[in-house]
Structure 1
């Protein structure tokens, strides 16, 4: 299978490329704004001779692809906040790049990396197959823009019912290539462990469902090998984990020291989400069966990060 990957330097794309390299013989063409950086990453992993790297100007409808995977976007809340309203233009630009190809080659599958944020900003309870997306249309705030951009793309995709387009809604994803300086609860925890400091965290109760790279690879492979469809699926592990459980697990495994304080404030670039995960398991219809729980995946990847030298953390 010949696969084009747009946004190949994103964290989740880099992890997927390594999974492809380990488990398949797919012919990958990796598109990035900085091809040199992508080539260097492949060289570091001894993969430079295996895959083609190109900038977006080289993408053309005259090439043959069996699938296009679009990872263009941001995965860091601080980056999302800094990007602001321009996220609409960036999302639309690269989505249209892929759609233009698929319109000309309707047998080519298109997988778009969406987000749980497409449901809206309210996650007082986990979403499920009957949850409706909510948009504060008369009071849009900057933290809404990321989710609305994803929702807009999904609406476009569902309108093209005849084309094989699947949107993958990622809620929480964690791997050893995560940027340790990103402002997530899990990276705050890891920095505290690495620096031997006390984590200051709020008393807010939250639940997260951390997807492991191996399960993301299983999901993508399921979508690429089952009959083509026009659909959206939510990501999920074998089971989520709440904040007290995560803190306890990290304390037991790595000696985390933490203190609950009401004065601590976190970055909510896409809105506060106490139960940011999904009970919608439509992906099972495509043959997806996760192998790891959130706790399993986090402990496995955290161990790899904490054993690596500081200069290597965040590199593929």
Structure 2
């Protein structure tokens, strides 16, 4: 199977490329705005020369069995920094792929969407019948990212004749994550790495972190399943709440933390107490995650600190 990877500079795309590299039968062609950055990364990952790399202008001239679109941002703060250009960027590359698969209808399209497509109200986890809620008369900039994903999903459902799967990613973590990003898990790991006390709010939150191996498993399911047009939520075997995560990181890695009721915790894309999904529709296609959120985080956190030790950086 020949697969186009769009947005090959993104972290989650790179993790998937590494996963693909360990198996046979997948011919990847990588596309990015900065092909040189992709080639540099391939060399640093021991994959130099493994895959062709081009800018997006070369995409339409090739023949593919599948296209996976990672174009966008994974850090909510970066999404907000993009401002209203998030709409143009999402639309531009989505339309590029839609034009391609209209001409090549046997090609399947996997689009990286987001749990943010549901809106910004996550007081409870979403379910199969949870509606997307958009404050259409008072749309805030922190909602633009989610709305851009929702618009893409609507365009996709409007073409039931095309093989399009939207994958809503809620939370994802791997050892390649930039620890300077402002997520709860990166705040925790930086505190452990730097040997400082982490200060955090008393707000109870629950997250469901997808491990790279389970994300790869999910992608393989939809590359192999009968072609269809659908949307699925991504999930691990079990979510983890904040208190359980803090305690586990304390016991395993010596995290020191303080709870402050006075801390303001509104994130770049709004408050999300329960940012995860109970919608397991992906199971209907054969997806079964192997790892819980906590298991995946422990595996990747250990790798982060082991890499630091090997590079001469203390994790104490």
What pairs with 1:1-316 in structure 2 (closer than 5 Å)? 1-60=1-60, 62-266=61-265, 268-309=267-308
CA distance, structure 1, for counterparts of residue 28 and residue 310 of structure 2: 28
CA distance, structure 1, for counterparts of residue 82 and residue 264 of structure 2: 21
TM superposition shift of 1:23? 2.5
- Check conservation: 1:78, 1:267, Cα contact below 8 A: no
TM superposition shift of 1:266? 3.8
CA deviations 1:120-169 (Å, max 9, x no partner) are 10011000101010000000000110000000000000000000000000
What is the count of residue pairs matched by the alignment? 312
Structure 1 gap ranges (5+): none
- Check conservation: 2:31, 2:56, Cα contact below 8 A: yes
CA deviations 1:4-26 (Å, max 9, x no partner) are 01001101000000000013331
- Check conservation: 1:77, 1:267, Cα contact below 8 A: no
Are residues 78 and 52 of structure 1, via their aligned partners in 2, closer, same or farther at CA, if it must alter by over 3 Å? same
- Check conservation: 2:80, 2:142, Cα contact below 8 A: yes
- Check conservation: 1:183, 1:267, Cα contact below 8 A: no
TM superposition shift of 1:77? 1.8
TM-score by length of 2: 0.96
- Check conservation: 1:174, 1:298, Cα contact below 8 A: yes
TM superposition shift of 1:220? 0.3
CA distance, structure 1, for counterparts of residue 122 and residue 178 of structure 2: 25
CA distance, structure 2, for counterparts of residue 25 and residue 161 of structure 1: 28
Structure 2 gap ranges (5+): 312-316
- Runs of at least 4 residues off by over 2 Å: 262-267, 309-312
Q: Please state whether the residue corresponding to 1:125 is helix, strand or coil.
A: coil
CA distance, structure 2, for counterparts of residue 45 and residue 243 of structure 1: 33
TM superposition shift of 1:264? 2.7
CA deviations 1:259-315 (Å, max 9, x no partner) are 011233346121111000000000011110000000000000001011113897xxx
CA deviations 1:85-111 (Å, max 9, x no partner) are 110000000101111100000110000
Q: Please state whether the residue corresponding to 2:22 is helix, strand or coil.
A: helix
TM superposition shift of 1:44? 1.3
CA deviations 1:199-250 (Å, max 9, x no partner) are 0000010000000000000000000001011000000000000000000010
CA deviations 1:35-89 (Å, max 9, x no partner) are 00100111112212210100111111x3110000000011112211211111000
Are residues 59 and 243 of structure 1, via their aligned partners in 2, closer, same or farther at CA, if it must alter by over 3 Å? same
Over the residues paired in the alignment, what is the CA RMSD in angstroms? Answer: 1.4
CA distance, structure 2, for counterparts of residue 157 and residue 250 of structure 1: 40
